[in-house]
Amino acid sequence: MSSRLAGRRALVTGASRGIGAATAVRLAAEGADVAITARTLDAHPSLPGSLTETAERARVHGGAVAVVTADMADASDRVRIVPEAVDALGGPIDILVNNAAAAMYADLAAFPLKRRHLIFEINLHGPVDLAQAVIPSMRERGEGWIVNLSSATAKLVDGPPFHLGFTGATTGVYGASKAALNRLTNALAAELWGTGIRVNTVEPRAAVLTEGADALVGDRLRPEMIEPMETMVEAVLALCDCPVERTGGIHVSLDLIAELKGR
């Protein structure tokens, strides 16, 4: 087992499958004690993966692993995530990875308000709530790492004419939630500058074919449109122990990895 993150406690959301699960296992492999949270404890009705499976994979590396089952869409539910993770791991959180996200694509002209609320609740308010919950103890210790996972859909589309790709404009609400997350990441980093707390976002350059993405758009993705899971996890890891000067950034996975390798 690597000792890169030995002595640190990490909390990873959306860790029942996909990038969250892979990140949690990687942080455990690097020596961190890890708390994982999601709704799916043992089984999902249509997608593979669960918190139980992720915990089993993470425990192989010998560190402490805590499981907190919670619904990130419910503010009254997620308020207990950080306290339960702290109690289970025996100390405050050093690394927060906000990975959990709701991705629903539809034409904006008829996008239901209920779904818009859900997307912003999970993709924006959830990460901010958890960040607010871990910041006091990070500030006390003079260091901490908050990593928010974003998306290329946050970027504006050039036009007219507009070249939208196979999803058309259906990613507008999802992308808007990620654009808001980017802006608040940058603002929080600026606010916390000088405290030792680093706050960054990272997004894949191409699609990461997680279980959810595969079910959503997998049949329309060509090989050149897909990024390996490992590259995204490597980029997240790099921001989980980055120096104090790297904060407030909106990073692209492969670009960040290339930059770090070029040092």
In order, the DSSP letters of 217-236 are HGGG--GGGEE-HHHHHHHH
Instruction: Report strand pairing: 95-98 vs 226-227.
Output: unpaired
Catalytically annotated residue among 68, 95, 154, 174: 174
Question: % helix / strand / coil in the chain, to the nearest 5?
Answer: 45, 15, 40
105 is catalytic: no
Predicted confidence (pLDDT) per residue in 142-167, tens digit: 999 999 999 989 999 899 999 877 77
Task: Give the percent of the chain with pLDDT over 70.
Answer: 90
Question: In this structure, how many other beta carbons lie within 10 angstroms of the beta carbon of residue 178?
Answer: 26
Predicted confidence (pLDDT) per residue in 110-120, tens digit: 999 999 999 99
Range picked from 9-23, 32-46, 215-229 for highest mean pLDDT: 9-23
H-helix or E-strand spanning residue 13: strand 9-13
Predicted confidence (pLDDT) per residue in 50-91, tens digit: 999 999 999 999 999 999 999 999 999 999 999 999 999 999
pLDDT at 219 over 90: no
pLDDT at 220 over 60: no
Decide: 98 and 131 in contact? Cβ < 8 Å: yes
Q: Which CATH class is domain 9-261?
A: alpha beta
What's the whole-number average pLDDT of the chain?
91
> Whats the size of the chain, residue-wise?
263
CA dist 1 and 102 (Å) reads 33
Q: Quickly state the pLDDT bin for 43 (edges 50, 70, 90).
A: confident
pLDDT at 221 over 60: no
CA dist 124 and 119 (Å) reads 8
